[in-house]
A and B are shown apart, each in its own frame.
Chain A
Amino acid sequence: AQSVTQLGSHVSVSEGALVLLRCNYSSSVPPYLFWYVQYPNQGLQLLLKYTSAATLVKGINGFEAEFKKSETSFHLTKPSAHMSDAAEYFCAVRPLNAGNMLTFGGGTRLMVKP
């Protein structure tokens, strides 16, 4: 079965520092990959997605993610953290031949220190 692992349930960075949130998936065939952001008491919002086109995907709010097949990874980065980036981030994966179902990682809470 498809699975996705987010390393680090909590990540803390200083404002202006690099943000790196890690996501690894298990699949022999590169799947579709997604990153979502959730602010307190809200639903999830799509940040970006990888659908077998460019390996470096740019999303909203200055975030980007790079698909690395050799490492089965899809880490999320942002060069300079802003206080408004504090939220929970979820990585999700869907195999190419498994219908519409997404499998979500356990989430990473990003804290931004002033």
Chain B
Amino acid sequence: DGGITQSPKYLFRKEGQNVTLSCEQNLNHDAMYWYRQDPGQGLRLIYYSQIVNDFQKGDIAEGYSVSREKKESFPLTVTSAQKNPTAFYLCASHRGPSGGYTFGSGTRLTVV
């Protein structure tokens, strides 16, 4: 079945390290998104990409970077510049104008 795979499910990072979260989809969707979710809060958009080799900053892009070299893949790097990276990260993709987003199962990042 088609879907979005996020890995790893749990990730621990030492302060000062960069880490990369993987997001892969086999839905043939053009648009992909990264969201951050903190306890008791909604979804905040980090980055999005509407097409291969192009991406745009969302509301909270500082301290994060992305790439979109392939349609299927949209990895997110959490850099050492992100001061409070502990959160649940969700990747999503989108099919068309009337469709909703399809979400991955998330990656929980913890700074130790």
Q: Please report A residues at the B interface, Cβ cutoff 8 Å.
A: 9, 32, 34, 36, 41-46, 49, 51, 90, 92, 96, 99-102, 104-107
How far in angstroms is the closest Cβ of chain A from B8? 13
Q: Decide if A42 touches B42 in the complex (CB within 8 Å).
A: no
Q: Is the CB of A107 within 8 A of B42?
A: yes
B43 touches A90 (CB 8 A): yes
Given A51-B98, A100-B31, A100-B94: A43 and B103 interface contact (C-beta under 8 Å): yes
Cβ–Cβ contact B90 & A100, under 8 A: no
Q: Which residues of A contact B50 (CB under 8 A)?
A: 99-100
Residues of B with C-beta under 8 A to A43:
4, 6, 90, 92, 103-106
Q: Are B106 and A34 in contact (CB under 8 A)?
A: no
**Contact assessment for A36 and B100 in the assembled complex, using a CB-CB cutoff below 8 Å:** yes
On chain A, the residues within 8 Å of B90 by CB distance are 43-44
Name the prevailing secondary structure of the B interface residues: strand
Count of A-B residue pairs with CB < 8 Å: 51
Closest to A10 in B: B40
How many Å from the CB of A53 to the closest CB on chain B? 10
**Nearest A residue (CB) for B90:** A43
* Distance of A92 Cα from B42 Cα, bound (Å): 11
Q: Mark B87-107, 1 if CB is under 8 A from A, else 0.
A: 010101010011111111110
Interface string of B1-20 (1 = CB under 8 A from A): 00010100000000000000
Structural contact, A42 and B105, CB atoms closer than 8 A: yes
| A98 → B minimal CB distance (Å) | 10
B48 within 8 A of A: yes
Residue B68 lies at the interface, judged by CB distance under 8 Å to chain A: no
Q: Which residue of B lies closest to A107 (CB)?
A: B42
Interface residues of B in 34-89 (CB under 8 A from A): 40-43, 48, 50, 88
